[in-house]
Chains A and B, each alone.
Chain A
Amino acid sequence: MFDGYTASELMAIFAMQGFAGLILFSVLVLMALGLAIIFGQMGVINMAHGEFMILGAYVTYLTSIFFENYLPGLSSIYFFVAIVLAFIAAASLGAFVEWALIRRLYKRPLDTLLATWGLSLILQQTYRSVFGGREKGVSLPDWMMGSIPVTDIIEIPINGIIVMVLTLIITLAVYFVMQRSQWGAKVRAVVQNRPMAAAVGINTSIVDRMTFALGCGIAGIAGSAFTMIGSTGPTSGQLYIVDTFMVVVFGGAANLMGTIASAFTISQAQTILEFFMSGSIAKVLTLGMVVGILMLRPQGLFVLKIRR
C-alpha cells in the first residue's frame, strides 16, 4: 500500500499517525480517570458516567453563550472558565447523587449498576427536556480551532494539543491528591480496610462522598474538553461509556497507573490498526485483543497488592 509515496511523505504520515495515537491516548485517559476513581476506589459501577461528562459539555455550551452575550471581550478565554464551572457542576451533582442514591447501595454493589443506569436515563431525558433533543454546536474561540502547519502534510491540530495538556494537568493533579495529600491517604485507607479506617477516626461517609464527587467532577472536565472534538446532545454520553469501561477494566480497576497503561495500549493498538485496515475491523481487533488479555489476566493489567 506504500507504492508511489516518497520516503519523506511516509515519514510525515507516520509522525502524524503517532500524534493521532497520542491524542487518542489523552482522550481515553481523560474519559477514564473519573471512572477509575469511582469504580477503582469505591467499587461503584457508575453507568451514568457519560451523562456526567455531557453535563460538563452543556455547562461549556451555556458558558459560551453567556460570554458571547455579556462579556464578548473575554470570549477568547471563556473555555478556561467553562472547565472550572463544568467541574463544579458535575462534582456538585455527583455529591448529591451519592447522598441521595449511592450511599444506600454500598452493600449491594451490583445494584449500583441498575441504579446508575436508571440515573443515566433520567439525566438524558432531563437534558432533552431542558436543552431540546437536537445537538448543540458549541462555538470555540478562533485560536482554539485549526492547526499549526509544520510541513505540507504535518499539521498539528490545536485542539489535540489542548486535550493533551489538559490530560497531563489533571492526571498529575489526581496523582498528587491521591498519593501525596492527607485526604488521598484517607481515601486509600477506606478502600483498603473500611472498618479499620473508621476505627482510627476517618469519617468514611464524607470520604465516600468527596471521592464520588471528584470522579464526577473529572468527568465534567472531560465533557467540557470533548466539545472541541465531539458532539453535544442528550445521548452523546453513550458514545463514550463503552470505551471508558474498557479502559478501566483492562487496566485493573483499583490502580490509576493501570488506567494509564491500558489507555496507552488500547490507543496505540487502535491507531496502528486503523491505519492499515478499515475502522470497523480495527475496532474489532482491538476489542478482541482486550478480551484475550483479560482471559489470561482477569484482574487487568495492574493489580493493587493488598491482603484480603
Chain B
Amino acid sequence: MINSLKRSIPSLKSVFTVAVAAFAFSQAAIVNAAPATAEVNTTGLAVTDDTVTVGILHSITGTMAISETGSTQAEKLAIKQINESGGVLGRQIKYIQEDGASDWPTFAEKSRKLLVKDKVAAVMGCWTSASRKAALPVFEQYNGMLFYPTFYEGLEQSPNVVYTGQEATQQIIASIDWVVKTKGVKTFYLLGSDYIWPRTSMKIARKHIAKLGLKVVGEEYYPLGHTQFNSVINKVKLKKPDVIFAAVVGGSNVAFYKQVKAAGIDWRKEKPLMLTISVTEDEVLGIGGENLVGAYSSMKYFQSLTNGNNETFVKAFKEMWGEDSVIGDVTQAAYLGPWIWKYAVEKAGSFDIDKLKLALPGIELTTAPEGYVKVHPNHHLWSKARIGLAREDGQFDVVFESEGLIEPDPFPKGYQ
C-alpha cells in the first residue's frame, strides 16, 4: 500500500483500497445511526446490524398465479423503495420468496418454514381466504405477522394479521347506498360464485337491501369454474331487475361477461345496471374491455385515480415491471403492506412482534396511492369506498368516492 501511494497515478489496488475504506466508513455510519440489534430484536428474528429479512408468500404457480403475481410485484416495489429511502431502523430489507403454489396446505407449510427456519420479521402474503385460513393458525402459534392484501368477507380478526384490503361492509354497503341514491334502483339480482366470499358478501348485501326497504328478485350461486350462464341470463331477462349485484370469480367471470354481451344485454343502457365487487383492472384483461364497458365496479382503488401519490406509484410500477402492467385494487393493497410495517416498526422502535402489535393501531400512511389510510385497532384499514365505471380500454372512470374514510367493521352487527 505504501508502494502504491508513492506512485504518481493511483493504481487499481489503491482505488480499491479507498473504496473499501469508504464502504467501511459508510457502514459504520449506518450502524452508528441505527439502534443496536440487541435492542430492537429481543426475540431472535432475522435481523442483523444492517439487514432485516421478511418473507413474501404468494402463488407463483397454479391457478391463483394469475391474480397473485401483481401482489408480489407491488410488494417488491415497496421493499425496493423503502430500501432506497434508508430502510427500516437503518436496516436494508431483504426478502425470502416462497411459492404457495395455489395449494392451501402449502401456504401453511411455507409460513411455518418462513417463521421457524428463516425467522422472518414479517410476511407479506396469502391471497384467497382459503390460503389465509390455512396459514392463520401458524402465524398465531409462532407469533408472526402477516400482511394480507385481498378484499375479503370479514368475520375475522387476528392480532397476527394486518388486513390491507377492504372487508365486506366497506365494499358493499357504500356501493349499494350509492346505486340506490344516484340511480334510483328498486330491485336487485344477486349473483355469485359458490364459496365463502360471495356467499358472505351477498348476505350482507341482502340484509342491507332489506334495511333500505328494497327488493331482491333473484339470488344465485354457481360452482367455481362454471362456464355456461345462458340460463341465468334468461332469468334476469324475465325478472327485469334494476341492477345485478355480482361476485363471480375466475374463469367463470370471463365466461359470464362474454355471454351476457352475446345475449344482447348492454351495461350502458339504463336497465339492468351491473354493479360488481369482483372485477378489477386485472380481471378486465381476460374479460375484454368491450364486454364490460358500462359496468360499475366497487373497489377502494383504481389505476386511473388522479392524486399525486397514485401518479408516482403507477409510474414507478411501470418502470419496474413494464409499460403494459395493469394495477388492480389488490395490487395496490399489497403495496401498502411493507410501508405500514416499516412505520409500525419505527414507531415501536423494535422488530419484536409483540411491540409491533401495540404500535400498529393508528399508523397512518399519507403516501398511499389510494390516498390517506389509517390502521384501525382491529388491524383493518380505514379507507374510502369508490365506484368505477368501466371503459372500453379496460380502465375505470371513478364516478363516486365516499366522503370520508369508512370504518372497518369485520363483525358487523345486524348483518350476520
Contact = CB atoms under 8 A, between A and B. Distances in A.
A5 B228 CA distance: 25
- The secondary structure that dominates the B interface is helix
Interface string B74-108: 00000000000000000000000000000000000
Interface residues of B, number: 44
A230 B65 CA distance: 19
Contact of A137 (B69, B225, B286): B286
A274 interface: yes
Nearest to A160: B262
A111 interface: no
B238 A13 contact: yes
Given A13-B234, A20-B230, A283-B223, A159 B286 contact: no
Contacts, number: 136
Contacts of A280: 194, 221-223
Given A133-B66, A239-B251, A274 B232 contact: yes
B255 interface: yes
A230 B230 contact: no
Contact of B220 (A9, A27, A233, A278): A278
B264 A149 contact: yes
B366 interface: no
Contacts of B286: 134-137, 231-233
Contacts of B228: 20, 23-24, 27, 229, 270
B17 interface: no
Interface string A149-164: 1000101011110000
Contact of A157 (B222, B223, B259, B290): B259
A279 B221 contact: yes
A279 B282 contact: no
- Most A CB within 10 A of own CB, among B62, B65, B225, B228: B228
A189 interface: no
A9 B239 CA distance: 10
Given A240-B227, A279-B221, A159 B262 contact: yes
Contacts of A230: 227, 251, 254-255, 258
Interface in B202-252: 219-223, 225-228, 230-235, 237-238, 250-252
Interface of B: 61-63, 65-66, 69, 194, 219-223, 225-228, 230-235, 237-238, 250-255, 258-259, 261-264, 282, 284-290
Given A135-B254, A146-B261, A153-B238, 12 more contacts: A13-B237, A135-B251, A137-B284, A139-B288, A157-B230, A229-B228, A229-B259, A230-B227, A235-B63, A235-B251, A274-B232, A279-B220
